[in-house]
Amino acid sequence: MGFSFNFFGTQEVRKFSYKPRFYDPEAEERRKKYGDFTKPKETKYVPGQHVKGSFRDGNYQRTKEVSRNQKTIGIVTMVLLFAVVYLIFKYFPLLIDSLGK
């Protein structure tokens, strides 16, 4: 008893078709046979060598501080905002009086 009325008709099933742009089967076979020489040589893994000092020198420190440019932009924006508000309060009554006459 289900009515399936669709204004635009039935929707087709979308299919994923990925065609790589740059694929060299010969290079792939060489990598399988001789190994990948594009990667640097692996050194012995030491636990924590990549984590050491990440909170002090990592992205966390950069997100906490506000840059000098951001402070300057904020100050200029506030000065312009106050200037616009001041001019509106100063000249708005004159505009209303001139329109009323």
* 78 closest CA partner among 86, 88, 90: 86
Mean pLDDT of the chain: 77
**Is the whole model's pTM more than 0.75, yes or no?**
no
How sure is the predictor about 101, in pLDDT bands with cuts at 50, 70 and 90? low
pLDDT tens digits for 47-96? 776 665 555 555 555 555 678 888 899 999 999 999 999 998 888 887 77
Sign of dihedral through CA atoms 95, 97, 83, 77? Answer: negative
The residues, any chain, with a CB within 8 Å of residue 60's CB and separated by 6 or more, are 54
- pLDDT confidence of residue 57: 54
**What letters, b where the CB count within 10 A reaches 16 and e where it falls short, cover 20-29?**
eeeeeeeeee
- pLDDT confidence of residue 78: 97
DSSP SS3 for 58: coil
pLDDT tens digits for 24-55? 888 888 888 887 777 776 777 777 766 655 55
CA distance 62 to 50: 18
